[in-house]
Amino acid sequence: MTEADRKTAESPYFLHMPEGECGPLFLDSPHSCTTYPADFRFAGNLPLPLLRQAEDTFVDELYADAPARGIPLLCAGFPRSYLDANRGLEEIDEALLDAPWPGAKQETSKTRLGKGLVWRVLDTGEPIYDRKLGVAELQARIDNYYLPYYAQLQRLSDQAVARHGRVWHINCHSMPSEAAQYATEHPGLQHPDFVVGDRDGTTCDTRFTDRVESVLKEMGYDVWRNHPYKGVEIVRVVGQPQANRHSLQLEVNRKLYMDEVGLTHSAGFDKLKRDLNALMDELLRFARTI
């Protein structure tokens, strides 16, 4: 995503495709967008830098070299605090609405934290809105952003299967160095360098998960598996190993590459990007031979 995109674009996604043949691997970054739709209307007293800490800032940049390697990269065109693409459609927080939700809804640990499909509070507990949202307003976000994003995920998966007989997918995220109060069920947890999540082996061939973990560990990184992040809605939907569709979630610690408060690159950004490029090269070789 270019700086012009960040400032002007309102689109459900940005798709960066290779110029030549696509391999069996593709990536998506659902939380890195910094474009804020005009109808967001968050609380007037909420500082934008604080709101922006909900973003997976610069994750799209860390993986920007993927298309040059034959790897499609899909990036959401809406910010996480506006609509969380990694939550299920039923994760509706009715405390945020001015009327009962007419569709299916499910209470989860995230909706209880105020972090459902549409967030009510930030990780630090500040309310995002000084008003209730209308049911039509939430439905419009689903129709205009969420559903098109998932449709494009499905197209990329289908295209890879059609070309190669299988697909390998990485759902790219970042995590703060320390879990905030309303971020997870483990507030205060000091995060490792990476967390690899495959929903306890249900969304991906474990050989692929093993390879991701081993390559990162060989680079000297501290890597955890399925704790505290197992992978959520995107890997659940894309990952169907019985149908040769494999998906895992990869979380990288923001302390490795950015100033978490100032939202700027740190001295470690370039090294991390080189290491992720090397990881992509290795995973593409793996995906083509397994």
Would you give the distance in Å from CA 250 to the centre of its chain?
9
What's the pLDDT score for residue 186?
77
- CATH code, 116: 3.40.630.40
Q: What percent of the chain has pLDDT over 90?
A: 89
pLDDT band at 35 (very low <50, low <70, confident <90, very high): confident
pLDDT in tens, 240-250: 999 999 999 99
Q: Which domain holds residue 276?
A: 3-289
pTM, rounded to two decimals: 0.94
49-107: pLDDT as tens digits: 999 989 999 999 999 999 999 999 999 999 999 999 999 999 999 999 999 999 999 99
Cβ–Cβ < 8 Å for 272, 58: no
**Average pLDDT value for the chain:** 94
Give residue 185's pLDDT.
Answer: 73
Please state the φ and ψ torsions of residue 174, each to the nearest 5 degrees.
Answer: -130, 160
Indicate whether 288 pLDDT > 80: yes
Q: What is the mean pLDDT of residues 273-283?
A: 98
Interacting residues of 69 by C-beta distance below 8 A, sequence separation 6+: 18, 23, 277, 280, 281, 284
Mean pLDDT across 30-34: 96
Q: Mean pLDDT over residues 232-256, rounded? A: 98
Query: Quick check: 168 and 159 in contact, CB under 8 A?
Result: no
At 3, the pLDDT band (50, 70, 90 cuts) reads very low
Quote the longest CA-to-CA distance of the chain.
Answer: 54
Kindly report the three-state secondary structure assignment for every residue of the chain. Answer: CCHHHHHHCCCCEEEECCCCCCCCEEEEECCCCCCCCCCCCCCCCCCHHHHHCCCCCCHHHHCCCCHHHCCCEEEECCCCCCCCCCCCCCCCCHHHECCCCCCCCCCCHHHHCCECCCECECCCCCECCCCCECHHHHHHHHHHHHHHHHHHHHHHHHHHHHHHCCEEEEEEEEECCECCCCCCCCCCCECCCEEEECCCCCCCCHHHHHHHHHHHHHCCCCEEECCCCCCCHHHHHHCEHHHCEEEEEEEEEHHHCEECCCCEECCCHHHHHHHHHHHHHHHHHHHHHC
Residue 32 pLDDT exceeds 60 = yes
More confident: 11 or 243: 243
* Domain count for the chain: 1
